[in-house]
């Protein structure tokens, strides 16, 4: 293969990668708790990490428990990276070791945003997370959205510095749309 | 020369080893894509299931029979049950005088963790363990109750554990399971059983989240315990009352700790022993981790034979996680070793390559050079391969 052909192949590969990137977008992850929970309206990142690693079970004297989304889902992978600071493989090893030490147990999993809402409403102090786009079609009665407490104030999902986000697949294009 | 019963036990181990390899192969060939999880509160006790037969299925069945359907209610939100286990096998060889090549099933472990609610926990752990022959020592195998305790968690800063539990002393002793640690052989203070692995008694412990300190997120962990040291392989005369404490400060991913421990050693004329360990861990750039533990034991001189000194032992290790699933570990160990009688100075250089092809499988290859300053023991080399699987 000649030099020009090699360059051509490389450019095609780059174009393919670019096209793939176009089908994904970064989407904020929203934290929710039950409206009845008397804890604060925002939580700091270290506390969130400890709660999801089962190292902390109380916030401000209030019992708190975590819910995860389904293992392998894009939102969970994004949450693990941006909130907990680790890959899912790393966290899997962590939980295996904790089980043997009699330490923490991994958060329960829920398969859908609907299921998450049911569990959050049922137990004040349960914390879960959703994609911002998932909020639109849901009845949010009985839950409230948590901000992220930082040294400079509270960050909300719409803020550009808001760190919790995941790589979401783009929604499918409607049929018959112009190419 | 081994007697008949030892040969029989060795043959038993050799028969178990291929079975273990088969389980390991099954785990390695399990698909990366997990099946769909059940959508009920009983299901998500594990992080990521695979097609390997899993004890967690039993836990889920029990949980489901108690919790009923998927509707969240008070009981199903609180009840948790986790069942797990692991096994490991090793090939070891040495050029030491009296040393022998071996292929053995080293451990088979089963543990059950029941959370009756968010405050109460019951934990059981049983283990088959094979302790390979030390040079000039004997080969030992036994079934052992590792842990059996109940725990009450009032708040994060106050937890009470009663029963049989791992001794909170330094870094290694409470995390001593072969499958969890970096190397095949433990460091000197652990192989010499300076501190008993378990205690029968009461432990009060907890965490205090102290906020930012020196620009780093800090956390203080404390532990106080009292009771009686549990008998291990060297079970002989019962030990007297033991007391211990542990204090560790975490600063982000760094760790600094101090543990104190005292007991009457029944095997040594009830002599009183006072132990101290200072330990620390620093996360360095380029995925390097440094860890060290210094252990000192002070022995009651009135009952101490004249040729046995108060031992000091230290190790320092550097681990490089050059891939997410692979690491290289170097450990330097130095200390006074009295495992075989008179105290001799023992130096070990140890290099380990670890590989985790999937999260539930741990493979290790290890080389160590053992050096003695004097005494009846010659220097020797050691090689080992180990494979462990969680199930």
pLDDT in tens, B16-47: 555 555 555 555 544 443 333 334 444 444 43
pLDDT level of residue A103 (50, 70, 90 thresholds) = confident
CA-nearest residue to A47 within chain B is B209
**B84 vs A100, A119, A122: nearest CB:** A100
CB B23 within 8 A of CB B391: yes
**B180 vs A63, A100, A126: nearest CB:** A100
Q: For an interface test with A, which of B71, B72, B111 has the most A Cβ atoms less than 10 Å from its Cβ?
A: B72
Rounded to an integer, what distance in angstroms lies between the CA atom of residue A71 and that of residue A108? 10
pLDDT score, position B322:
93
Token pair for A81: 């990276």
Question: pLDDT tens digit string along B210-262?
Answer: 777 767 788 999 999 999 888 654 555 667 789 999 999 999 889 999 999 99
B46 close contact with A: CB closer than 8 A: yes
Question: pLDDT tens digit string along A145-159?
Answer: 889 988 888 898 888
Distance from CA of B166 to the nearest CA of A (A): 9
Residues with Cβ < 8 Å from A3, sequence gap 6 or more? none
pLDDT score, position B296:
92
**A109 vs B43, B80, B82: nearest CB:** B43
Using a pLDDT cut of 70, give the percent of chain A over it: 81
pLDDT score, position B5:
45
**B37 vs A71, A87, A107: nearest CB:** A71
Token pair for A19: 């096209």
The verdict on a CB contact (< 8 Å) between A102 and B113 is: yes
CB A88 within 8 A of CB A77: yes
Rounded to an integer, what distance in angstroms lies between the CA atom of residue B217 and that of residue B210? 8
Instruction: Find chain B residues with C-beta within 8 A of A95's C-beta.
Output: 46-47
3-class secondary structure, A101 = helix
The verdict on a CB contact (< 8 Å) between B155 and A58 is: yes
pLDDT score, position B182:
92
Distance from CA of A90 to the nearest CA of B (A): 8
Instruction: Find chain B residues with C-beta within 8 A of A112's C-beta.
Output: 39
The answer, yes or no, to whether ipTM is higher than 0.85 is no
**Residues of A within an 8 Å Cβ radius of B:** 46-47, 50, 55-58, 63, 65, 68, 70-72, 87-93, 95-97, 99-102, 105-112, 115, 118-119, 122-123, 126
Count CB pairs under 8 A between chains A and B: 107
The verdict on a CB contact (< 8 Å) between A71 and B111 is: no
Rounded to an integer, what distance in angstroms lies between the CA atom of residue B114 and that of residue B341? 43
Instruction: Find chain B residues with C-beta within 8 A of A123's C-beta.
Output: 72, 74, 77
Distance from CA of B44 to the nearest CA of A (A): 5
* CA-atom Rg of chain B in angstroms: 22
The verdict on a CB contact (< 8 Å) between B47 and A88 is: yes
Q: pTM of the prediction?
A: 0.79
Instruction: Find chain A residues with C-beta within 8 A of B155's C-beta.
Output: 57-58
Distance from CA of B299 to the nearest CA of A (A): 31
Instruction: Find chain A residues with C-beta within 8 A of B71's C-beta.
Output: 118
Rounded to an integer, what distance in angstroms lies between the CA atom of residue B251 and that of residue B216? 6
Average pLDDT over residues B196-204: 92
Angle at A139 between CA A134 and CA A145, to 5 degrees: 65
> Which residues on adjacent β-strands are paired with residue B360?
none
Rounded to an integer, what distance in angstroms lies between the CA atom of residue B30 and that of residue B52? 6
Question: pLDDT tens digit string along B316-329?
Answer: 999 999 998 899 99
B43 close contact with A: CB closer than 8 A: yes
Instruction: Find chain A residues with C-beta within 8 A of B118's C-beta.
Output: 57, 63, 65
């Amino acid at each position: 293969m000649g030099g020009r052909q090699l360059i051509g192949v490389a450019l095609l590969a780059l174009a393919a990668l670019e096209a793939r990137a176009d089908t994904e977008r970064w989407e904020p992850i929203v934290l929710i708790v039950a409206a009845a929970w008397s804890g604060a309206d925002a939580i700091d990142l270290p506390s969130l990490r400890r709660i999801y690693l089962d190292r902390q079970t109380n916030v401000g004297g209030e019992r708190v428990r975590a819910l995860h989304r389904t293992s392998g889902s894009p939102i969970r992978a994004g949450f693990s990276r941006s909130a907990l600071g680790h890959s899912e493989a790393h966290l899997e090893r962590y939980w295996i070791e904790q089980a043997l030490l009699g330490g923490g147990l991994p958060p329960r999993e829920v398969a859908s945003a609907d299921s998450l809402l049911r569990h959050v409403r049922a137990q004040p102090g349960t914390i879960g997370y959703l994609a911002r786009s998932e909020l639109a079609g849901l009845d949010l009665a009985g839950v409230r959205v948590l901000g992220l407490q930082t040294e400079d104030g509270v960050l909300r999902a719409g803020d550009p510095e808001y760190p919790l986000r995941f790589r979401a697949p783009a929604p499918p294009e409607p049929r018959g749309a112009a190419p | 020369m081994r007697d008949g019963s030892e040969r029989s036990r060795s043959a038993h181990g050799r028969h178990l080893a291929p079975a273990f390899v088969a389980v390991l192969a099954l785990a390695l060939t399990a698909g990366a894509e997990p099946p769909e999880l059940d959508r009920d509160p009983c299901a998500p006790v594990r992080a990521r299931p695979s097609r390997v037969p899993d004890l967690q299925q039993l836990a889920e069945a029990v949980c489901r029979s108690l919790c009923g359907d998927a509707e969240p209610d008070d009981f199903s939100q609180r009840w948790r049950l986790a069942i797990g286990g692991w096994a490991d096998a090793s090939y070891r060889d040495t050029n030491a005088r009296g040393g022998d090549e071996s292929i053995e099933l080293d451990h088979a472990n089963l543990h059950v963790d029941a959370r009756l609610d968010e405050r109460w926990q019951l934990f059981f752990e049983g283990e088959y363990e094979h302790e390979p022959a030390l040079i000039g020592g004997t080969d030992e195998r036994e079934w052992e109750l590792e842990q059996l305790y109940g725990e009450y968690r009032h708040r994060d800063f106050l937890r009470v554990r009663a029963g049989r539990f791992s001794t909170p002393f330094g870094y290694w002793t409470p995390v001593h399971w072969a499958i969890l640690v970096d190397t095949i052989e433990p460091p000197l203070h652990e192989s010499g059983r300076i501190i008993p692995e378990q205690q029968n008694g009461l432990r009060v412990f907890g965490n205090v989240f102290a906020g930012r300190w020196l620009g780093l997120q800090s956390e203080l962990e404390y532990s106080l315990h009292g009771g009686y040291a549990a008998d291990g392989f060297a079970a002989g005369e019962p030990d007297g009352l033991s007391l211990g404490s542990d204090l560790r400060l975490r600063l982000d991913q760094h760790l600094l700790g101090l543990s104190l421990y005292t007991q009457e050693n029944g095997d040594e004329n009830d002599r009183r022993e006072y132990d101290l360990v200072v330990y620390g861990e620093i996360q360095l750039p380029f995925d390097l981790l440094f860890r060290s533990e210094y252990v000192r034991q002070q022995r009651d001189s009135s009952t101490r034979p004249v040729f046995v000194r108060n031992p000091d032992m230290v190790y320092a290790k550097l681990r490089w996680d050059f891939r997410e699933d692979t690491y290289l570990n170097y450990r330097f160990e130095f200390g006074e070793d009295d495992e075989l009688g008179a105290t001799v100075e023992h130096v070990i250089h140890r290099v380990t390559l670890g590989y985790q092809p999937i999260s539930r499988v741990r493979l290790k290859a290890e080389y160590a050079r053992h050096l003695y300053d004097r005494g009846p023991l010659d220097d020797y080399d050691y090689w080992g391969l180990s494979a462990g699987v969680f199930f």
